[in-house]
Amino acid sequence: AVITNAYSNVVSSFYGVKFQRSIEELLVSPMPTYLILIGFVTGGVVRGIIVGILVLFTSLFFTDIEIQNIPLTLLVIFLTAVLFSLGGLLNAIFADSFDDINIVPTFILTPLIYLGGVFYSITLLSDTWQLISKLNPVLYMVNAFRYGMVGITDINIVGSFAMVGLFSTILFFLALWLLEKGSRLRS
């Protein structure tokens, strides 16, 4: 819920501004580009976290949940929301139509989520597929979240946070560079 809502909030909001051509006004304003980026990402993070909290409270009606490490779980939820908000922003920058904003969730995000170790341990895979799986950023988020919730992980927890931080940093600077350049945003 956090992944899809953080992503969809930013991609729809930013593409809407791009479609209406009001992004040009934002980019020529005296506001620093990094604040525009942080504003859109913050919107996605807030929505993702709110929906995640609502899902948690709904699930409490059906089961008892015992979280093993609350601070770590909250941190991984926050970092996941940041990463997918940045991904949504990048998708919106490159999208040329409303159809384009749905291609990435359908053909990239959904397979990454299902192949990210959500339903299985990567130790069940062959060495080749384990190596391929380690290129998937969702694997690191899933394992960090699993460790925070139940205390079990397939991957070193420090490595998981390092990879999520690395992917987030790369996407942040890529989005910042594209915004500053005005790539695919200005007429």
List, for residues 90-128, the tens digit of each pLDDT value: 999 999 888 888 888 888 888 888 888 888 888 888 899
pLDDT higher than threshold 80 for residue 184: no
Contacts of 172 by beta carbon, 8 Å cutoff, 6+ apart: 37, 86
List, for residues 126-153, the tens digit of each pLDDT value: 899 888 888 888 999 999 999 999 999 9
List, for residues 12-51, the tens digit of each pLDDT value: 999 999 988 888 888 888 999 999 999 999 999 999 999 9
Report pLDDT for 185: 76
pTM above 0.95, yes or no: no
pLDDT higher than threshold 60 for residue 162: yes
- Per-residue CA distances from 131 to 139, 154, 169 (Å): 11, 13, 22
Report pLDDT for 8: 93
Q: Distance between CA atoms of 55 and 50, rounded to whole angstroms?
A: 9
Report pLDDT for 187: 57
Burial of 128 (C-beta count, 10 Å sphere; 0-12/13-18/19+):
exposed
Residue appearing with tokens 């990402």 = 41
